[in-house]
Structure 1
Amino acid sequence: MTSPALPPAVVAALRCPVCGDAVGLAGRMLRCPRGHAFDLAKQGYVNLLHAKIPSGTADTSDMVAARAEFLGAGHYAGLAGRLAERVAPSLGSGLVVDAGAGTGYYLARVLQEAGGATGLALDVSALALRRAARAHDRLGAAVWNLWEPWPVATGSASVLLNVFAPRNGAEFHRVLRPGGSLFVVSPQAAHLRELASVVDLLEVDGRKEERLEGALAGFFEPVAREEHTVRLTLSPVDVRRVVLMGPNAHHPERLKRLDDVHEPLGVTASFVLSEYRRTP
């Protein structure tokens, strides 16, 4: 099997993280005119980071596997489909950047809906991007810390996605073209609340919506907001997966009771899908 490569539109949008110059693809290497070079991994992604990430920040191999298996079972397929329906009309043949893309599940679904578009997956986890790089043939993946200035050209994205991920309002605004759209998915307070009966979960921030608006204030204007709630019946295996695929996995002391789950559990999946328009 041929190793995946970065799509031309992704290469055109990327910038050297050292000097900020444009980069070109030569074989399996990205290189800028000043000679800074970055190898493509055999899985197809490129690691542009030049600094260590604090422990507990990036997804581990177990977290990535749990996420891939849980999403692959289709539990959030309805959310992914609705996101793709909303994004595709705004995208056309442009570039969609998924900030905090993980395994590329949602970005790949968007690219299926928007047949002429190209996707760039940004995430701090190289382990997750190994899967994202293979999630769709029009998807390129680059390891990066979203809190740092992005190695992405100003105004290069037609659409930005942000699904359960950190929000860097300033970089969202810079990278998105004038008039472009940002789509954010975040959990509501009721999301997976039934799991609290079997595991000591981290709580969803009750001021999450307020914090979201604050992070984007001055950069974006709200356009639309949809709430999505669905009942799921999870097997004991999927209960373990949904817990281990998120930030709770960084706190093993909270997970001891997972071994006591032996019966299917009904849970509430509750999300907000918000659309924002870039301000001038």
Structure 2
Amino acid sequence: MNADVVTHLRCPVCAEPLAEVGAAPPRSLRCPRGHTFDLARQGYVNLLTGRAPHTGDTAEMIAARADFLAAGHYDPVSAALADAAAQALPRDAYAPLVVDAGAGTGRHLAAVLDALPQAVGLALDVSKPASRRAARAHPRADAALADTWARLPLADGTTALLLNVFAPRNGAEFHRVLRADGVLLVATPAAAHLAELVETLGLLRVDPEKEERVAQSLAGHFAAVGATTVSARLALSRSEVRTLVGMGPSAWHTDVDRLGERLTALPEPVEVTLAVRIGCYRPR
């Protein structure tokens, strides 16, 4: 792992610093009290303690997401995050830390790191398939298996920029790990996001109170300092629509046979709205 990332990590058991041990793979991270965490062959470190209350996205969901993102359909979101990060990140002399909490495949984190050549990155996700991919997302990014609902395996006030893209928000922990001059970027679906598919395919609709719930989850810890909405029109094949459904929360609630019947009835290309709100927050 990158030494500039490891220096910010903390043992999830006792919160002591971690250091890499072992001269050759498989290596481990170990704290002064002897708690040891193995580095997987795929490049990520498992910093879960005990059994996680949930396992996150499945291998099938992560594979679908990787395919869809690789086609460039959500590149406008990545570009907007990278632009916001470049404008907001404190100008450190050396290796500020960018953390993506709920990173998935790590594609958005990679785009941000491309825009910040001085930064290093850490992808956090509770899903093993996600962490395997995120560990290879960028030369300056590492990945750790971690439950973002629990205490994050990071030192207090060590993160310069924290990304939260379509993922759960842990306001108290985000505040703890961010520097006083740090920035939190939160990406959530706007009301029009994928609206054409909601009725046609029976997908989950965006909560009309989504923005209010985001604000509540961060209340007392962060102050909003700006927001922008990324909008685009996507022209997708039926196969790409199936992949889009399979990579998100609707995958847990959609009948595969019924989805196939409805997809067959759609004309190609399928016109779909991309609408994502990116909020910028500073610690209080």
* TM-score band, normalised by shorter chain: over 0.9
| TM-score (normalizing by structure 1) | 0.94
Q: In the alignment, is the contact (CA less than 8 A) between 2:102 and 2:167 conserved in 1?
A: yes
Cα deviation for residue 258 of structure 1 reads: 3.1
Q: Which residue of 13, 16, 36 maps to 2:11?
A: 16
CA deviations over 1:167-196 (Å, ceiling 9, x no partner):
000001000000211111100111101112
Q: In the alignment, is the contact (CA less than 8 A) between 1:90 and 1:158 conserved in 2?
A: no
2:64 match: 66
Q: Give runs of aligned pairs for residues 1-280 of structure 1, distance below 5 A.
A: 6-27=1-22, 28-54=27-53, 57-91=55-89, 92=91, 93-253=95-255, 256-262=258-264, 263-279=268-284
Count of aligned positions: 273
What RMSD, in angstroms, separates the aligned Cα atoms of the two structures? Answer: 1.4
CA deviations over 1:86-116 (Å, ceiling 9, x no partner):
1023334310111110000100000011001
CA deviations over 1:133-178 (Å, ceiling 9, x no partner):
0010110111111111111100010011011010000001000000
Cα deviation for residue 54 of structure 1 reads: 4.1
CA deviations over 1:67-94 (Å, ceiling 9, x no partner):
0000000001111112101102333431
Cα deviation for residue 228 of structure 1 reads: 1.6
Q: SS where residue 22 of structure 1 aligns? A: coil
Instruction: Give the aligned residue type for 1:21.
Output: E
CA deviations over 1:247-272 (Å, ceiling 9, x no partner):
11122437722354243210111111
CA distance in 2: counterparts of 1:146 and 1:52, whole angstroms: 14
CA distance in 2: counterparts of 1:206 and 1:266, whole angstroms: 22
Choose 101-110 or 78-87, whichever is displaced more. 78-87
CA deviations over 1:15-68 (Å, ceiling 9, x no partner):
11111110100131101111111110111101111232345x511010000000
Q: In the alignment, is the contact (CA less than 8 A) between 1:199 and 1:255 conserved in 2?
A: no
1:3 match: none
Choose 261-270 or 120-129, whichever is displaced more. 261-270
Which ranges of structure 2 fall in alignment gaps of 5 or more residues?
none
| TM-score (normalizing by structure 2) | 0.92
Instruction: Give the aligned residue type for 2:116.
Output: A
Q: In the alignment, is the contact (CA less than 8 A) between 1:198 and 1:258 conserved in 2?
A: no
Which ranges of structure 1 fall in alignment gaps of 5 or more residues?
1-5
Instruction: Give the aligned residue type for 1:40.
Output: L
